[in-house]
Amino acid sequence: MRNRQSGIQMHRALQRHRRLFVAVELNLLEPLSQQRSRVFSGKRNPAGAVENLDDKFWYGHVAGNLTSVFVSLKSIVPVMRAQRSGRIVNITSPASRMALPNYLAYAASKAGVDAVTRGAAVALAPYGVTVNAVAPGMMDTPMQRITEQQLAALEGRNDFEVFLAERTRRIPLGRRTDCATVAATVVWLALDAPDYITAERLNASGGLDKD
């Protein structure tokens, strides 16, 4: 429900500016009349160290997180190039720059999103199109909880609430974010950020991604 409320909030904000916004994975929003802004997301869950990954799991994450961004870009770029304007926002993760052995497929696919973001930003800059990414931190969502339950099991932990508290303490701000905060970050990039910002990775992780 919180995701849907955040989606409605973004929809209304973008509607005021008569721009298009699509949250691909969650299917929260309907397209508006003009193709000006796009957001591309993905999927997540851990699976253990590299020797325990099967091919299907690996390719599933690459398809869900990286190939989906590539295909989405191919569909929208011709429109934005033709109108010589547009803002594309990809969703990456702090995991893409962290050494996380039990998150290998997810982290690698999100690192690919970072590379696509930078490359596409440079390619599209002459056409007035910006391409940036947002890296959300830990959130209290059903998907995040399932992921952390799996991580706890992989680490042999049976004290799940203690495990969650330990992970939260790793965040320099000392608390988790929420969907509304991440949505506000995306909306800012899609609407209000200076149009000189491109090829950027904006961390909304409470300091978790410190580099």
Cα 86 versus chain centre, distance: 18
For residues 42-52, one letter each, b for 16 or more C-beta atoms within 10 angstroms of the residue's C-beta and e for the rest, the string is bebbbbbeeee
What is the signed CA dihedral for 204, 75, 18, 3, rounded to 10 degrees? Answer: -40
Continuous segment of H or E residues that includes residue 154: helix 142-154
- Is 106 labeled as catalytic in the residue annotation? yes
Catalytic residue among 59, 106, 127, 196: 106
Partners of 129 in beta bridges: 86
Name the region of 20 (left: φ>0; alpha: ψ -120 to 50; beta: rest): beta
Residues, the chain, total? 211
Tell me the catalytic residues: 106
